[in-house]
Amino acid sequence: MSVESVSEWLHSFSSEASKFQSLKKRYKTSKAVTVSIASGKGGVGKTSVSVKLAKELASLGHKVLLLDCDFNLSNTSIKLNIPLSDNFFDLISARKTFEECIVRMGNLDILPSANGNLDLFNEGLQMYEIMVDIIYGHEKDYDYILLDSPAGISKDSVNLNAYCDHRLLIVTPDRSSITDAYSLMKVLSKSYGINENHLLVNMVNNQGQYLRVIKTLSETAENFLNSRTNIIGGIKKYDCSTDSFDKFFIQMENSAAHKDFSKLTKKFTEKICGRSVNGVSSHQLVDNRGVELEVH
Protein backbone atom coordinates (compact mmCIF):
# COMPACT_ATOMS: atom_id res chain seq x y z
CA MET A 1 0.00 0.00 0.00
CA SER A 2 1.44 3.37 -0.98
CA VAL A 3 1.73 6.35 1.31
CA GLU A 4 -1.05 7.97 -0.74
CA SER A 5 -3.33 4.99 -0.02
CA VAL A 6 -2.57 5.15 3.67
CA SER A 7 -3.30 8.88 3.65
CA GLU A 8 -6.66 8.25 1.97
CA TRP A 9 -7.50 5.65 4.61
CA LEU A 10 -6.58 7.89 7.52
CA HIS A 11 -8.33 10.97 6.18
CA SER A 12 -11.55 9.03 5.66
CA PHE A 13 -12.01 8.45 9.41
CA SER A 14 -15.28 9.49 10.94
CA SER A 15 -16.75 9.16 14.42
CA GLU A 16 -18.86 6.25 13.23
CA ALA A 17 -17.37 3.08 14.69
CA SER A 18 -18.85 0.88 11.97
CA LYS A 19 -17.19 2.87 9.19
CA PHE A 20 -13.89 2.86 11.00
CA GLN A 21 -14.00 -0.90 11.48
CA SER A 22 -14.89 -1.58 7.84
CA LEU A 23 -12.04 0.57 6.62
CA LYS A 24 -9.64 -1.08 9.02
CA LYS A 25 -10.66 -4.55 7.83
CA ARG A 26 -10.10 -3.42 4.25
CA TYR A 27 -6.47 -2.49 4.85
CA LYS A 28 -5.57 -4.63 7.87
CA THR A 29 -5.35 -8.22 6.66
CA SER A 30 -2.06 -9.20 8.23
CA LYS A 31 -0.73 -12.06 10.27
CA ALA A 32 0.74 -9.76 12.90
CA VAL A 33 -1.15 -8.53 15.95
CA THR A 34 -0.47 -4.80 16.24
CA VAL A 35 -0.21 -3.27 19.71
CA SER A 36 0.35 0.37 20.56
CA ILE A 37 2.00 1.00 23.91
CA ALA A 38 0.63 4.43 24.70
CA SER A 39 0.28 7.09 27.36
CA GLY A 40 -1.34 10.45 27.73
CA LYS A 41 1.68 11.83 29.59
CA GLY A 42 5.39 11.37 29.02
CA GLY A 43 7.74 9.98 31.65
CA VAL A 44 5.50 7.11 32.79
CA GLY A 45 7.81 4.27 31.69
CA LYS A 46 6.17 3.61 28.33
CA THR A 47 9.40 2.90 26.44
CA SER A 48 10.73 0.63 29.19
CA VAL A 49 7.51 -1.40 29.11
CA SER A 50 7.58 -1.48 25.29
CA VAL A 51 11.12 -2.86 25.22
CA LYS A 52 10.47 -5.36 28.01
CA LEU A 53 7.25 -6.61 26.43
CA ALA A 54 8.93 -6.98 23.02
CA LYS A 55 11.82 -8.94 24.52
CA GLU A 56 9.48 -11.16 26.50
CA LEU A 57 7.30 -12.00 23.49
CA ALA A 58 10.41 -12.77 21.44
CA SER A 59 11.74 -15.05 24.18
CA LEU A 60 8.51 -17.04 23.95
CA GLY A 61 9.28 -17.82 20.31
CA HIS A 62 7.18 -15.13 18.65
CA LYS A 63 8.59 -13.09 15.78
CA VAL A 64 8.35 -9.48 17.02
CA LEU A 65 8.91 -6.07 15.45
CA LEU A 66 9.31 -3.07 17.77
CA LEU A 67 8.82 0.34 16.13
CA ASP A 68 10.08 3.46 17.87
CA CYS A 69 7.40 5.99 16.93
CA ASP A 70 8.89 8.95 18.75
CA PHE A 71 10.36 9.69 15.37
CA ASN A 72 13.25 12.00 16.24
CA LEU A 73 14.00 11.00 19.85
CA SER A 74 15.32 7.46 19.85
CA ASN A 75 14.87 6.42 23.48
CA THR A 76 14.44 2.80 22.41
CA SER A 77 18.01 2.82 21.09
CA ILE A 78 19.29 4.28 24.33
CA LYS A 79 17.56 1.69 26.50
CA LEU A 80 18.85 -1.17 24.32
CA ASN A 81 22.35 0.30 23.88
CA ILE A 82 21.91 0.52 20.11
CA PRO A 83 24.23 3.05 18.44
CA LEU A 84 22.35 6.16 17.30
CA SER A 85 22.07 6.55 13.54
CA ASP A 86 20.07 8.20 10.77
CA ASN A 87 18.87 4.87 9.40
CA PHE A 88 15.23 5.77 9.96
CA PHE A 89 15.53 8.89 7.82
CA ASP A 90 17.47 6.89 5.23
CA LEU A 91 14.61 4.38 5.15
CA ILE A 92 11.82 6.89 4.62
CA SER A 93 14.00 8.69 2.07
CA ALA A 94 14.43 5.40 0.16
CA ARG A 95 18.20 5.49 0.62
CA LYS A 96 18.21 2.19 2.52
CA THR A 97 15.94 -0.84 2.65
CA PHE A 98 13.93 -1.91 5.68
CA GLU A 99 16.27 -4.88 6.17
CA GLU A 100 19.28 -2.55 6.23
CA CYS A 101 17.73 -0.37 8.91
CA ILE A 102 16.40 -2.84 11.47
CA VAL A 103 18.45 -4.11 14.40
CA ARG A 104 18.01 -7.84 14.93
CA MET A 105 18.16 -9.47 18.36
CA GLY A 106 17.11 -13.08 17.89
CA ASN A 107 13.35 -13.14 17.29
CA LEU A 108 13.13 -9.40 17.96
CA ASP A 109 13.60 -6.81 15.21
CA ILE A 110 13.83 -3.15 16.21
CA LEU A 111 13.38 -0.16 13.95
CA PRO A 112 14.91 2.70 15.95
CA SER A 113 13.89 6.25 15.20
CA ALA A 114 16.23 9.09 14.32
CA ASN A 115 17.71 11.29 17.01
CA GLY A 116 17.71 15.02 16.40
CA ASN A 117 17.86 14.71 12.61
CA LEU A 118 17.38 18.22 11.23
CA ASP A 119 16.25 17.01 7.82
CA LEU A 120 13.51 14.94 9.40
CA PHE A 121 12.56 17.84 11.65
CA ASN A 122 12.31 20.28 8.74
CA GLU A 123 10.52 18.05 6.23
CA GLY A 124 7.08 18.36 7.83
CA LEU A 125 6.23 14.77 6.96
CA GLN A 126 3.04 13.01 7.94
CA MET A 127 4.87 10.47 10.07
CA TYR A 128 1.87 8.34 11.02
CA GLU A 129 1.16 7.74 7.33
CA ILE A 130 4.72 6.57 6.76
CA MET A 131 4.62 4.35 9.83
CA VAL A 132 1.37 2.67 8.83
CA ASP A 133 2.88 2.09 5.39
CA ILE A 134 5.87 0.37 7.05
CA ILE A 135 3.54 -1.80 9.13
CA TYR A 136 1.43 -2.74 6.13
CA GLY A 137 4.50 -3.67 4.10
CA HIS A 138 5.97 -6.03 6.72
CA GLU A 139 3.15 -7.28 8.93
CA LYS A 140 3.01 -10.68 7.26
CA ASP A 141 6.55 -11.37 8.51
CA TYR A 142 5.74 -11.03 12.22
CA ASP A 143 3.51 -12.41 14.95
CA TYR A 144 3.46 -9.13 16.88
CA ILE A 145 4.25 -5.56 15.87
CA LEU A 146 4.63 -3.27 18.90
CA LEU A 147 4.57 0.49 18.59
CA ASP A 148 6.28 2.61 21.24
CA SER A 149 3.88 5.45 20.47
CA PRO A 150 4.44 9.14 21.15
CA ALA A 151 2.88 10.35 24.38
CA GLY A 152 -0.11 12.66 24.25
CA ILE A 153 -2.90 13.27 21.76
CA SER A 154 -1.03 14.57 18.74
CA LYS A 155 -2.30 13.52 15.33
CA ASP A 156 0.58 11.06 14.95
CA SER A 157 -0.09 9.45 18.32
CA VAL A 158 -3.87 9.20 18.00
CA ASN A 159 -3.85 7.89 14.43
CA LEU A 160 -1.29 5.21 15.26
CA ASN A 161 -3.29 4.17 18.31
CA ALA A 162 -6.41 4.01 16.17
CA TYR A 163 -4.76 1.84 13.54
CA CYS A 164 -3.52 -0.81 15.96
CA ASP A 165 -5.55 -3.84 16.97
CA HIS A 166 -4.94 -3.17 20.68
CA ARG A 167 -3.77 -0.36 22.92
CA LEU A 168 -1.84 -0.88 26.18
CA LEU A 169 -2.11 2.36 28.15
CA ILE A 170 0.65 3.02 30.68
CA VAL A 171 -0.28 5.29 33.56
CA THR A 172 1.27 6.28 36.87
CA PRO A 173 -0.65 7.20 40.03
CA ASP A 174 -0.23 10.97 39.61
CA ARG A 175 -3.27 13.02 38.64
CA SER A 176 -1.84 14.41 35.40
CA SER A 177 -1.04 10.94 34.08
CA ILE A 178 -4.56 9.69 34.85
CA THR A 179 -6.21 12.78 33.37
CA ASP A 180 -4.10 12.67 30.21
CA ALA A 181 -4.74 8.94 29.75
CA TYR A 182 -8.48 9.62 29.94
CA SER A 183 -8.11 12.40 27.36
CA LEU A 184 -6.48 9.93 24.96
CA MET A 185 -9.25 7.41 25.60
CA LYS A 186 -11.84 10.12 24.99
CA VAL A 187 -10.40 11.16 21.63
CA LEU A 188 -10.13 7.54 20.51
CA SER A 189 -13.72 6.89 21.55
CA LYS A 190 -15.37 10.04 20.20
CA SER A 191 -13.41 10.34 16.94
CA TYR A 192 -12.66 6.72 16.06
CA GLY A 193 -15.27 4.64 17.83
CA ILE A 194 -12.64 2.76 19.83
CA ASN A 195 -14.17 1.69 23.12
CA GLU A 196 -11.76 -0.88 24.51
CA ASN A 197 -8.27 -0.37 25.93
CA HIS A 198 -5.86 -2.23 28.21
CA LEU A 199 -4.34 -0.63 31.29
CA LEU A 200 -1.02 -1.18 33.07
CA VAL A 201 -0.25 0.96 36.13
CA ASN A 202 3.43 1.73 36.68
CA MET A 203 5.34 3.10 39.71
CA VAL A 204 2.74 2.02 42.27
CA ASN A 205 3.48 2.54 45.96
CA ASN A 206 0.84 0.27 47.46
CA GLN A 207 -2.35 -1.68 46.83
CA GLY A 208 -4.67 1.12 47.85
CA GLN A 209 -3.09 3.52 45.42
CA TYR A 210 -3.24 0.94 42.64
CA LEU A 211 -6.93 0.26 43.29
CA ARG A 212 -7.75 3.96 43.23
CA VAL A 213 -6.08 4.39 39.84
CA ILE A 214 -7.84 1.49 38.14
CA LYS A 215 -11.17 2.39 39.75
CA THR A 216 -10.92 6.02 38.67
CA LEU A 217 -9.96 5.32 35.07
CA SER A 218 -12.13 2.30 34.42
CA GLU A 219 -15.28 3.72 36.00
CA THR A 220 -14.85 7.13 34.35
CA ALA A 221 -14.29 5.53 30.96
CA GLU A 222 -17.32 3.31 31.40
CA ASN A 223 -19.66 6.01 32.71
CA PHE A 224 -18.74 8.81 30.30
CA LEU A 225 -17.42 7.00 27.23
CA ASN A 226 -19.18 3.63 27.48
CA SER A 227 -15.64 2.29 27.09
CA ARG A 228 -14.20 -0.92 28.51
CA THR A 229 -10.85 -0.93 30.29
CA ASN A 230 -9.12 -4.30 30.62
CA ILE A 231 -6.90 -4.24 33.71
CA ILE A 232 -3.59 -5.99 33.06
CA GLY A 233 -1.90 -5.23 36.40
CA GLY A 234 0.65 -3.00 38.05
CA ILE A 235 4.37 -2.60 38.60
CA LYS A 236 5.39 -1.33 41.99
CA LYS A 237 7.72 1.66 42.26
CA TYR A 238 11.39 0.85 42.63
CA ASP A 239 13.51 3.29 44.60
CA CYS A 240 16.46 3.94 42.28
CA SER A 241 17.50 6.07 39.32
CA THR A 242 15.77 5.58 35.98
CA ASP A 243 18.95 4.21 34.40
CA SER A 244 19.45 1.71 37.22
CA PHE A 245 15.83 0.62 36.99
CA ASP A 246 16.07 0.13 33.22
CA LYS A 247 19.14 -2.04 33.61
CA PHE A 248 17.36 -4.09 36.28
CA PHE A 249 13.96 -4.18 34.59
CA ILE A 250 14.96 -4.68 30.95
CA GLN A 251 18.17 -6.67 31.12
CA MET A 252 17.77 -9.01 34.11
CA GLU A 253 16.12 -12.20 32.87
CA ASN A 254 16.44 -14.50 35.88
CA SER A 255 15.06 -12.21 38.56
CA ALA A 256 11.77 -12.40 40.41
CA ALA A 257 10.79 -9.13 38.71
CA HIS A 258 11.29 -10.73 35.32
CA LYS A 259 9.11 -13.68 36.31
CA ASP A 260 6.41 -11.31 37.52
CA PHE A 261 6.46 -9.34 34.27
CA SER A 262 6.25 -12.63 32.37
CA LYS A 263 2.95 -13.25 34.14
CA LEU A 264 1.68 -9.83 33.04
CA THR A 265 2.79 -10.60 29.48
CA LYS A 266 0.95 -13.91 29.56
CA LYS A 267 -2.17 -12.22 30.85
CA PHE A 268 -2.03 -9.51 28.21
CA THR A 269 -1.54 -11.93 25.32
CA GLU A 270 -4.38 -14.10 26.60
CA LYS A 271 -6.60 -11.03 26.75
CA ILE A 272 -5.85 -9.83 23.23
CA CYS A 273 -6.02 -13.32 21.74
CA GLY A 274 -9.43 -13.89 23.30
CA ARG A 275 -8.45 -16.74 25.59
CA SER A 276 -9.21 -17.12 29.27
CA VAL A 277 -6.63 -16.24 31.85
CA ASN A 278 -5.33 -19.12 33.95
CA GLY A 279 -3.80 -18.59 37.35
CA VAL A 280 -3.49 -14.80 37.26
CA SER A 281 -5.81 -12.47 39.13
CA SER A 282 -7.48 -9.79 37.04
CA HIS A 283 -6.38 -7.25 39.65
CA GLN A 284 -2.77 -8.20 40.25
CA LEU A 285 -0.12 -5.86 41.56
CA VAL A 286 3.44 -6.91 40.76
CA ASP A 287 6.31 -5.64 42.84
CA ASN A 288 9.41 -5.28 40.65
CA ARG A 289 11.50 -6.40 43.60
CA GLY A 290 9.84 -9.79 43.46
CA VAL A 291 6.87 -9.42 45.80
CA GLU A 292 3.55 -10.39 44.28
CA LEU A 293 0.35 -9.08 45.83
CA GLU A 294 -3.23 -10.00 44.99
CA VAL A 295 -5.66 -7.10 44.94
CA HIS A 296 -9.26 -7.98 45.81
DSSP character string of 232-285: EEEEE--SS-HHHHHIIIII--SSHHHHHHHHHHHHHHHHHTTPPP-S--SSEE
* pLDDT confidence of residue 99: 96
* pLDDT band for position 294 (cuts 50, 70, 90): very low
CB 78 within 8 A of CB 113: no
* pLDDT band for position 238 (cuts 50, 70, 90): confident
CB 272 within 8 A of CB 35: yes
Question: Tens of pLDDT along 159-192?
Answer: 999 999 999 999 999 999 999 999 999 999 999 9
3-state secondary structure 5-68: HHHHHHHCCCCCHHHHHHHHHHHCCCCCEEEEEECCCCCCCHHHHHHHHHHHHHHCCCCEEEEE
CA dihedral 64, 49, 234, 281 (to 10 degrees): 10
* pLDDT band for position 4 (cuts 50, 70, 90): low
Instruction: Determine whether domain 3-273+280-294 maps to CATH 3.40.50.300.
Output: yes
DSSP bridge partners of 204: 236
Q: pTM of the entire structure? A: 0.83
Average pLDDT score, the chain? 82
**CA separation, residue 225 to residues 152, 159, 173 (Å):** 18, 19, 21
Question: Tens of pLDDT along 121-145?
Answer: 776 677 888 889 899 999 999 999 9
- Inform me whether the pLDDT recorded for 22 exceeds 60: no
- Inform me whether the pLDDT recorded for 21 exceeds 90: no
CB 194 within 8 A of CB 162: yes
